[in-house]
Amino acid sequence: MSESMVETSQAVSSSEGVQTQTTLVLKQVTESIIVVEYNLLPDTNPGENGNYVALWQNKDQIPWNLPPEKTQSVSGSTQHGTVTFLVDLAQNNYILGYAVGPELASPAQKYGNICSTYFIPEIPAASKLTEDGVVVKAGADDSYFTNLTLGVVSGDSVTVKYGVPANSEPKTNSAWIGVFRGSAGYKITPEKAVPVNSTEDSGWLAINHKFVANKKYTLAYFMSGYNTTSPVQTRMAATLSFTA
């Protein structure tokens, strides 16, 4: 992912639609402090929705059912903000994860609401630190954000490719995609809710629905909460808007 994508979180336009994502920017890391900036979807309420940031000593993947070394709740109701970890870090690799909802109960992956990650390859040695700390720039492969890619659009169906962090299991976590006329919203009832019936961390699926020509639609990816009567809409991780 390009650095420009990391630095701006919303409204990525292309001929395949306009995508918004939940993104992270690592602002500072030293042996004693990590500061991460989060950029969320419009109208989200991270404090009310149980959002949190977690930190593991690990390779560049979330260990989905192992407890993190540190967690930090995201309070308030703003779309942008920062979280600071006071830490005592060893010379190892670390990974941060941002969750758009609370921890999940078994059989789901406990941290299955994590939709965005940031890999820290190595904490700088103390001898390299200045009194101002070390600011870490975004690398090409350091961050990952849940995303949607538009395929074929017709009056009766749409194909879409989803991507979530490595080894996240959408079906296990009851992930789903909502179809909205116009824009997606946390309190707007979708025209259709489609479960993601795959445990793969990326893949294509077809959504059968009547799409009215020349009207705007938005697909929204939710990390968990699917049920047939009233799916949970507070765990939205990414959206994709297009004209039918």
Q: What is the pLDDT along the chain (244 residues), one digit of tens a residue?
A: 333 333 334 444 445 789 999 999 989 888 788 899 999 999 999 999 999 999 998 888 999 989 999 999 999 999 999 999 888 776 678 899 999 999 999 999 999 999 999 998 876 554 444 445 555 544 445 899 999 999 999 999 999 999 999 999 999 999 999 999 999 999 999 999 999 999 999 999 999 999 999 999 999 999 999 999 999 999 999 999 999 9
| Cα separation of the two ends of the chain | 28
What letters, b where the CB count within 10 A reaches 16 and e where it falls short, cover 118-148? bbbeebbeeeeeeeebeebebeeebbbbbbb
How confident is the model over 87-99, as pLDDT tens digits?
Answer: 877 667 889 999 9
Distance (Å, whole) CA 224 – CA 232: 7
Distance (Å, whole) CA 80 – CA 27: 13
Domain ranges of the chain: 18-144, 146-243
Which class is domain 18-144? mainly beta
How confident is the model over 115-130, as pLDDT tens digits?
Answer: 999 998 876 554 444 4
Four-way CATH pick for 146-243: 3.20.20.140, 3.50.50.60, 2.60.40.10, 2.40.430.10: 2.60.40.10
Torsion angle of C-alpha atoms 211, 214, 215, 220, degrees rounded to 10: 70
Same fold, 18-144 and 146-243: yes
